[in-house]
Amino acid sequence: MKAFVDEDTCIGCGVCESLCPDVFKLGEDGKAHVIANDCSAGCCEDAKDSCPTGAISLK
Ligand code: SF4
């Protein structure tokens, strides 16, 4: 499973990075970026469920 962030929807709140720092990282553009190819860790689901704008998808 891989995580994706919709950069148009992301507001850069940092919740995903704080919950799952091995997968999500805020960039200098103020948007979250996916830094891991694999997202089987449970924290990815937590990040997806906790994103306030629904910007994260898992496929
Ligand atoms: S939790 Fe959602 S809105 Fe917040 S930084 Fe992550 S992807 Fe962006």
pLDDT digits (tens, 9 = 90+) for 1-45: 999 999 999 999 999 999 999 999 999 999 999 999 888 778 999
Mutate which of 6, 7, 9, 11 for ligand 1? The one with the most ligand atoms within 8 Å of its CB, which is 11
> pLDDT value at position 42?
86
Residue type, 15: V
Is the pLDDT at 52 greater than 90? The verdict is yes
Read off the CATH number of the domain in which 12 is found. Answer: 3.30.70.20
Provide the number of structural domains found in the chain: 1
Residue pair 55/32 in contact by the 8 Å Cβ criterion:
yes
Provide the pLDDT confidence category of residue 57 given band limits of 50, 70 and 90. Answer: very high
> pLDDT value at position 41?
73
Q: Vertex 57, ends 31 and 2: CA angle to 5°?
A: 95
> pLDDT value at position 6?
98
- Residue 21: give the domain boundaries: 3-58
> pLDDT value at position 7?
96
Using DSSP's 3-state secondary structure scheme, residue 44 falls into helix
Ligand 1 atom closest to residue 26's alpha carbon, by position in its atom list: 5
